[in-house]
Structure 1
Amino acid sequence: MTNTESASGERGREGVARPELTLAAVAVVQFMVSLDLSVVNVGLPEIASGLGFGEAGLTWVIHAYALTFGGLLLLGGKIADRYGHKRILTIGLPVFGLACLLGGFAQEPGQLVAARAAQGVGAAALAPAALALLTRTFPTGKARVKAFGVWSAMNAAGGALGVLIGGLLTQYAGWEWVMFINVPMVAVALALALRGIAPDEPVERRGRPDVLGAVLATAGMSLLVFGVVRTDEYAWTSTVTLSVLAAAVVLLAAFLYVEKTTSRDPLIRLGLFSNRSVAGANSYNLLLGAAMASAFYFVSLYLQGVLGAGPALAGIQFLPFALGVVVGSVAAIKLGYKFPARSLLIGGGLLTAAGFTWFGMISADGSFTVDVLGPSIVTSVGFGFCLAPVVSTATVGVAPHETGTASGMLNSTRQLGAALGLASLSTVAHQRAGENADPAAIADGYGLGMTVGAVLLVGAVLIALTVLPRTSTAAPAPVEADRGLVPEGD
């Protein structure tokens, strides 16, 4: 079935499908999933004292979510394609909400870590299903540009406002509310989904499920994320880290072999990577995620550890960043009607790199206005320019029955990029600062980490220039149903 046929199917069910409610449901889901990547960060000291976490164990409040979310995204996307995007969304939402509720009532460290892992499982089902629904509901034209602009604004706002919301809730309501805050959002998203999203169309089951590929991909991705996030405890060159990463590479190599040779329905059809839009967007997204994850981390620590801001004030000082992303996303909607997505990715990447370069000049005797506010505005507007085009481009030329897989792959590259970037750049910053460093050395380390982030963004721009086709726009051409690809221009 082509995108055009899918759109006709949507019009044929006007009494059931309500695109505006679908967009609202997807926006709430994406805001919630992004929020959970950052909302607990500022509250970690209170969580540690409230539940008795040790210093090493506390990091698992972050890692448990990232590990299950990143490790299961490919599987989540495939399940959504095979069993229905709406069905998986409406199953994932209660799982996510229940995990949040249990996490808020946690009395021991293990209970909170388990709840965060369960949140990651729910998010791995939600994120690709929601993005696939957005692609199905808005297949072409101006409506698609606008829909992905709204999605990108909510995606970025969730990550940026998570720091603000987490700081305010921790200081004035208690750390438990960084978990409880998701419960009403789950209820709203579920109500919108049930009322506004069209029933799933019958799905053609293409052979038996690729169970072996699913196991290899999930284990390989989980080990890769696990090895990377543990570099805060075990050095990159340690036996533990090298062994885990080597095992991850072996599992992922085996996964690719199975996908190439299996007679079953593969988890990922490797032909997707011959689509330059898919390959380029995922490569771009990997580097963008690596840079932006480090930005949230370094700026939060700089505000609190060097400039002396409290949790609530640090959260408030992140507000201009969130607003800048919204401004950039709105501008990308308007410009997306006139310019190819490739052009927006190039311009947005260069602007974001300029902001990171400015961040690289932070100092111990700096100020919020010069060292944080100015570069935050430049970086956030550029980031907003990138978000909708990279997501829209990643599904250009992808058949409807593979949109969940493509969405899961895009989310996977972002999570993997975030894990790799944060671990790598924090190591760079730590080595520059040294042990028991004074504020000047710490600020210098953060500045170096941000400068390396600027280099990564320049690399993303080069990918957009050399890999993405010039004709890749927010309004994809009709899909060739059998192959799931469209001819692409240079």
Structure 2
Amino acid sequence: MHKVDDPEPGGPPATVNNAAEIQERDLERLGRERPAAFHGALQEVLFCSSLLISMFMAEYFISGFNIILPELSRALEIPPASQTWPASVFALVTGAFLLPFGRLGDMYGAYVVFNFGLVWFSLWCLVGGFSRNYEMLIATRALAGFGPAAFLPTGVMLIGKTYRPGPRKNLVFSLYSAFAPIGFFIGIITGGLTGQYLSWRWWFWIGAIVLFLVCVASFLTIPNDYFNSSQRNNNTQGKAAVQMDYWGLATIVPALVLITFAITAGTHAPHGWKTPYILVTFILGILLLGAAVYVEGWVAQQPLLPFDLFGPKYMGRLVIALFFSYGVFGIYLFYASAEIANVQGASVLMTAVWFAPMAGGGIVLATVGGFTLHLLPGRVVILISGAGSLVSVLLFALIPPDANYWAYVFPSMIGATVGVDITFLVANIFITTNTPSHRQGLAGGLIYSVLFLGISFFLGLADLAVAENNEKRGHDGNHYKVAFWLATACAGVTFLIFATIKLGKAESELTVEEKAQLELEGASRPN
């Protein structure tokens, strides 16, 4: 048996001394055993719990806010025309700053950035419960958005750096993916219960209490990689240390903010997309995005989004498919809720109950997927995912008024959780496995940027399509169907792209660094 190096706390997963001599049984064992960064099972359990609940709480504060918004708007006297901004500003800030915080994770270590994000998020969610007016609510929601922007990409980074490719990493990522729909479901339930029996303020405070407990667990159990990152940056042996790309920061972030704002607010502006400030922000955003492409490709020494990140086979194609897939999911969440409440006539709490199969399905998929993903070809897995997304939106496109729950809604919910959970899981495993350890934060930023941008972009398109349909045909009871048909078309595109991607099994394998070492050793051998 060949000696395996134990990693430093928070450093890359264990590697073998000589990558050329590693045997298959070594890889299989390394892919299944507990990482040496943990001192025991309890630390690993609390480490994973911190990551899972951080994902859970990010979804909690997205889904539940729409439930408490009517009561909150009455309490703070927010007019209907201004109610969309408190709901969207949180996601706007989070989506725009994912890549910069991912880079900070690569610079200073995931421990620092992840814990900063949790503490910051819990603080501003707590303050949000004390909001006295519209302006204070907007400020707290915007400031809270920096929290998930910090801990979401570094959460992926922590899993990617701590676990080697293999079944154990698959299981952790499966659970991580499952906690998104669970958090979404609990956010709706808690929002409905607090709004009906307590106060909308308690929805914020309950979330802040949970986040505080997660902060304690993460501080105590996450391996501290700050000193490793600092040492790497201070002892680079002639190589450039990981640095912030300020030119990329100055172009990418405002471009994303302006474009996302225009797409989100365009339909609700006084004159729609003809409103001057919508046109100006959208055009400026496009110009800045073009400048960002030039900066990242030909100016920046260490781009915030380097083009060679898309070098691994199928990476670019997968990212495009993810963009469409997450857009489908965003349309589904928003318009399925609207269809169930406004057309099918379900109450707020009953709407949450109707979404329960997504949470339950996520748990089942996490359990099954975590133990079987290394046995199934990746291509089969993503095609199942694409089919699930297609079925979920197609059923709502065809749903009649007073529809039977078991015939339409239940199978649609199962299809939705199959679609998003498997897609997110495969994307996390593929991207982190094909990214070197010093870019794991960047990988996490890319994963979540595609998610947030896909949801915002296609939800804006669906909103525009529904508004145009209402203007031409009026509110005839079927005005949501145009959104679902748009989502069906996008799901079809996703499925076709998935069909061209040939991913292998998520088995135990060499890390990127070990593969590079193996190639170097092979090139240095005499012929």
TM-score computed with the length of structure 2 as normaliser: 0.85
Structure 2 vs 1, CA of residues 369 and 347 (structure 1 numbering), >3 Å: closer, same or farther? closer
**Aligned-pair CA distance for 1:307:** 2.4
The one-letter code matched in structure 1 to 2:158 is L
Residue 497 of structure 2, aligned match among 455, 459, 463: 463
Q: 1:177 to 1:264 in 2, by over 3 A?
A: same
Tell me what 2:237 maps to: none
Q: 1:305 to 1:431 in 2, by over 3 A?
A: same
The one-letter code sitting in structure 2 at the alignment partner of 1:194 is F
Displacement of 1:379 in angstroms is 2.7
Other-structure match for 2:13: 7
Task: State how far apart, in whole Å, the 2-side matches of 1:257 and 1:386 are.
Answer: 30
Partner of 1:421 in structure 2? 458
Instruction: Please say if residues 97 and 183 of structure 1, whose CA atoms lie closer than 8 Å, have aligned partners that are also in contact.
Output: yes
Answering whether residue 179 of structure 2 is matched by residue 154 of structure 1, we say yes
Alignment of 1:401-412 (within 5 A): 401-412=438-449
Contact 1:22–1:134, Cα closer than 8 Å, also in 2? no
- Quote the Cα distance in structure 1 between the aligned partners of 2:50 and 2:440: 18
Stretch moving more, 110-119 or 232-241:
232-241
CA distance in 1, matches of 2:326, 2:518: 26
- Structure 2 CA distance for partners of 1:394 and 1:236, relative to 1, 3 Å: farther
Does 1:78 pair with 2:95? no
**Residue 99, structure 1, aligned to residue 133, structure 2:** no
SS at match of 1:265: coil
Which residue number in structure 1 is paired with residue 414 of structure 2?
377
Matching residue within 217, 227, 239 for 2:252: 217
**Residues 216 and 24 (structure 1), Cα distance of their counterparts in 2 relative to 1, 3 Å cut:** same
Residue 121 (structure 1) aligned to one of 132, 143, 146? 146
Superposed CA offset, 1:104-123 (max 9, x none): 01010111111111111111
How far apart in 2 are the matches of 1:87 and 1:297? 34
1:289 and 2:326 matched? yes
CA displacement at 1:390 relative to structure 2:
2.0
**Paired residues for 1:192-271 under 5 Å:** 192-200=217-225, 202-203=228-229, 204-205=232-233, 206-207=240-241, 208-234=243-269, 235-236=272-273, 238-262=275-299, 264-271=301-308
Deviates further, 10-19 or 260-269: 10-19
Q: Secondary structure at the match of 1:7?
A: coil
3-state secondary structure, aligned to 2:433 = coil
1:68 matched to 2:93? The reply is: yes
Q: CA 1:103/1:379 → structure 2, altered by over 3 Å: closer, same or farther?
A: same
1:130 counterpart letter in structure 2: G
Contact 1:428 1:445 (8 Å CA) reproduced: no
Give 1:479's aligned amino acid: V
Which letter does structure 2 place at the counterpart of 1:202?
N
**C-alpha deviation, 1:143, in angstroms:** 0.1
Instruction: Indicate if the aligned counterparts of 2:296 and 2:305 stay in contact, CA closer than 8 A.
Output: yes
1:48 paired residue number: 73
Amino acid at match of 1:445: H
Normalising by structure 1, we get a TM-score of 0.91
Q: Say if 2:60 and 2:187, in contact at 8 Å, map to a contact too.
A: yes
Amino acid of the residue matched to residue 448 of structure 2?
N
TM superposition shift of 1:189: 1.6
Q: Aligned pair in 2 of structure 1 residues 159, 104: CA closer, same or farther (>3 Å)?
A: same
1:478 aligns with 2:511: yes
For the residues of structure 1 that align with 2:498 and 2:342, how far apart are their CA atoms? 36
Change (3 A) 1:280 1:36: farther
1:125 is aligned with what amino acid? A
Return closer, same or farther for 1:161/1:282 CA change in 2, 3 Å cut-off: farther
Give 3-state SS (helix, strand or coil) of 1:41's partner.
Answer: helix
Alignment check: 8 A CA contact 2:386 2:498 kept = no
Alpha-carbon distance in structure 1 between the residues aligned to 2:502 and 2:439: 21
Number of aligned positions between the proteins = 482
1:168, 1:156 → 2: CA distance? 18
Q: Hey, what's the Cα distance between the residues in 1 that align with 2:479 and 2:509?
A: 43
Cα separation, partners in 2 of 1:360 and 1:436, compared to 1, 3 Å: closer
Kept in 1, the 8 Å contact 2:117–2:151? The answer is: yes
- Distance across 2 between alignment mates of 1:104 and 1:13: 38
Instruction: Kindly indicate whether residue 212 of structure 2 is the aligned counterpart of residue 187 of structure 1.
Output: yes
Question: 1:58 maps to what in 2?
Answer: 83
Q: 1:13 to 1:143 in 2, by over 3 A?
A: closer
Structure 2 partner of 1:321 = 358
Cα deviation for residue 475 of structure 1 reads 4.6
Q: CA 1:450–1:330 in structure 2 vs 1: closer, same or farther (change >3 Å)? A: farther
Q: Greater shift after overlay, 121-130 or 212-221? A: 212-221
Q: In the alignment, does 2:390 pair up with 1:364?
A: no
1:304 aligns with 2:341: yes
For the 8 Å contact 2:394–2:488, the answer to whether it is kept is: yes
CA distance in 1, matches of 2:95, 2:431: 18
Equivalent in 145, 158, 182 of residue 133 of structure 1: 158
Write the distance in 1 (CA, Å) between the matches of 2:290 and 2:105.
24
1:449 is aligned to 483
Larger radius of gyration: 2
Q: Deviations over 1:107-163 (max 9, x none)?
A: 101111111111111110110011100111222111011011000000222223322
The counterpart of 1:165, out of the listed 190, 211, 221, is: 190
Identity of aligned residues (%): 23
In the alignment, the residues of structure 1 paired with residue 73 and residue 472 of structure 2 have an alpha-carbon distance, to the nearest angstrom, of 23
Q: Is the 8 A contact 2:174 2:365 kept in 1?
A: no
Q: Distance in 2 between matches of 1:476 and 1:143?
A: 12
Which residue, 329, 332, 337 being the options, matches 2:374? 337
Counterpart of 1:225 in structure 2: which amino acid? T
The question of whether the paired residues in 2 share the 8 Å contact of 1:289 and 1:417 is answered with yes
Pick which of 303-312 and 292-301 moved more: 303-312
**RMSD value over aligned CA atoms?**
2.7
Q: Which amino acid aligns with 1:386?
A: T
Segments of 5+ residues of structure 2 without an aligned counterpart are 16-33, 234-239, 520-527
Higher deviation after alignment, 283-292 or 312-321: 312-321
Offset of residue 356 of structure 1: 1.4
Question: Matches of 2:36 and 2:6 in 1, distance apart?
Answer: 14
